[in-house]
Amino acid sequence: DTEVTQTPKHLVMGMTNKKSLKCEQHMGHRAMYWYKQKAKKPPELMFVYSYEKLSINESVPSRFSPECPNSSLLNLHLHALQPEDSALYLCASSQDLQGAPGSPLHFGNGTRLTVT
């Protein structure tokens, strides 16, 4: 079983709703990530946090807002999403940033989001 916990597992929301995805890890990892995965596609990087600071934003629309309250938690706040935003949202963590040897990503099970 994965050591990265994501909640909720499934989420259905309307285009005017505000919701949040949550991710938690207790492995002492210093880097945390949000990925988006469409069906039969590879994960696409959205955000990277390193030492609780936003390190990378892959030109993600502002309707997605990440937050890292502490080193173990990562949130993704959602507002005014579009149906095409429906996807599996994956959280991951690693000991160090990906450029460092010995730091593979550990993924959560994901939140399957449907926007109606």
Among positions 43, 46, 81, 85, the unique one binding other proteins when judged by CB under 8 A: 43
Q: Which backbone phi and psi does 84 adopt, to 5 degrees? A: -70, -10
Longest dimension (CA), the chain: 43
Among positions 105, 111, 113, 115, the unique one binding other proteins when judged by CB under 8 A: 105
State how far the Cα of 39 lies from the Cα of 41, in Å rounded to an integer.
Answer: 5
Nearest distance, CB of residue 102 and other proteins, angstroms: 6
- Looking at the Cβ atoms of 48 and 68, the one nearer to other proteins is 48
State how far the Cα of 81 lies from the Cα of 7, in Å rounded to an integer.
Answer: 18
Asked whether the beta carbons of 89 and 110 are under 8 A apart, the reply is yes
- Looking at the Cβ atoms of 1 and 83, the one nearer to other proteins is 1
Report the interface residues with other proteins, using CB under 8 A. 2, 4, 31, 40-43, 45, 48, 50, 55-56, 90, 92, 97-102, 104-110
